[in-house]
Chains A and B, each alone.
Chain A
Amino acid sequence: MSQSAILTAAEFRLDGDLGELARLSAEVARFCQAGSLGENVEFHLNLILEELFANVIAHGGCRGMKDVVAVHLESESDGTVAMEFADRGTAFDPSAAPPPDLDAPLGERKAGGLGLHFVRSLARIVEYRRQDGWNHLNLRLTESV
């Protein structure tokens, strides 16, 4: 964690169900409102967290399970937003995944990969670690507030 003071923090858990996306966006909205963070930050946080969450459900074997994801958000006095995304899915390091082939023709484009591309376009992956059956991913929004 950085030296700057934490202004606002939020923490929540999600079940392995896409229906949780409504709660995810409500939690992100509340966090952004409390920290007076703008609409762009809210949009990008939503996007990053949805992509990570959707990947865990689709590929992590977490569909239908309770409390599979734990999210921690912090806005800091230096104008940055830090996230920890933890999940109980299969071990997976997003920083090691290959980038998608954006130049492939329409008919040949693979479905996956785009979400992680968005995550890496909007955030810097600070650390990945696997611990006690959980993936822990620490990220920082690259756009400051």
Chain B
Amino acid sequence: MIEVTLQTKSGWCVVGVSGRADAEAAEELENRLRGAVQHNPKVAADFSALAYISSAGIRAVLEAARAAQEAKVEFTVCAPSTPVRKVFDMSGLHHILTVQGELPC
């Protein structure tokens, strides 16, 4: 289960995601991130409160990144915990997804 908050800060739409981004929550995560991408020129996914992510969660983020790329929207993943960061690292997406230590705003 995930909880999602939306906030606008210095031109960025900050999507705060907490909880567990597992196979059950992946569809909601993708929909919420894609929704933000549809309506904003710059989207930052704030994962600082995300406790867990699996390949299903990674795929959801990847789909949102793909939608952002097509719509020429800036999209970044920010502030994941060390174990969540490790899952992104294992997925080998460095050249596709930007994962930043801190929020851009």
A and B assemble together: yes
How far does the alpha carbon of A51 sit from the alpha carbon of B52 in the complex, in Å?
Answer: 13
User: Between A and B, how many residue pairs show CB distances below 8 Å?
Assistant: 63
Point out the residues of chain B lying under 8 angstroms from A19, CB to CB.
24
Q: Is the CB of A18 within 8 A of B83?
A: no
**Does B90 lie at the interface of the complex (its beta carbon under 8 Å from any beta carbon of A)?**
yes
How big is chain B's contact interface, by range? 20 to 34
Q: CB within 8 Å of A: which of B1-56? A: 1, 20, 22-24, 52, 54-56
Given A102-B92, A103-B92, A109-B62, residue A47 in contact with residue B24 (CB < 8 A): no
Q: Is the CB of B62 within 8 A of A115?
A: no
Point out the residues of chain B lying under 8 angstroms from A115, CB to CB.
54-56
How far does the alpha carbon of A19 sit from the alpha carbon of B23 in the complex, in Å?
Answer: 9
Q: Is the CB of A46 within 8 A of B52?
A: yes
**Does A25 lie at the interface of the complex (its beta carbon under 8 Å from any beta carbon of B)?**
yes
**Does B96 lie at the interface of the complex (its beta carbon under 8 Å from any beta carbon of A)?**
yes
List 27 contacting pairs A-B, 8 Å CB cutoff, sorted by A.
A18-B24, A19-B24, A25-B20, A25-B22, A40-B83, A43-B52, A43-B83, A46-B52, A47-B54, A47-B87, A50-B22, A50-B23, A54-B55, A103-B95, A106-B62, A106-B65, A106-B66, A106-B69, A109-B62, A109-B96, A114-B59, A115-B55, A118-B54, A118-B87, A118-B90, A121-B90, A122-B90
Main secondary structure on A side of the interface with B = helix
Q: CB within 8 Å of B: which of A95-145? A: 102-103, 105-107, 109, 111, 114-115, 117-118, 121-122
Q: Is the CB of A111 within 8 A of B23?
A: no
Q: From B54, B83, B95, give the contact of A39 (CB < 8 A).
A: B83
Q: How many residues of A contact B (CB 8 A)?
A: 27
Q: From B23, B66, B90, B93, give the contact of A54 (CB < 8 A).
A: B23
Listed residue (B24, B55, B87, B93) with the most chain A CB atoms within 10 angstroms of its CB: B55
Closest-by-CB residue of B relative to A119 is B55
Closest-by-CB residue of A relative to B51 is A43
Closest-by-CB residue of B relative to A105 is B96
Q: Is the CB of B58 within 8 A of A114?
A: yes
How far does the alpha carbon of A54 sit from the alpha carbon of B87 in the complex, in Å?
Answer: 17
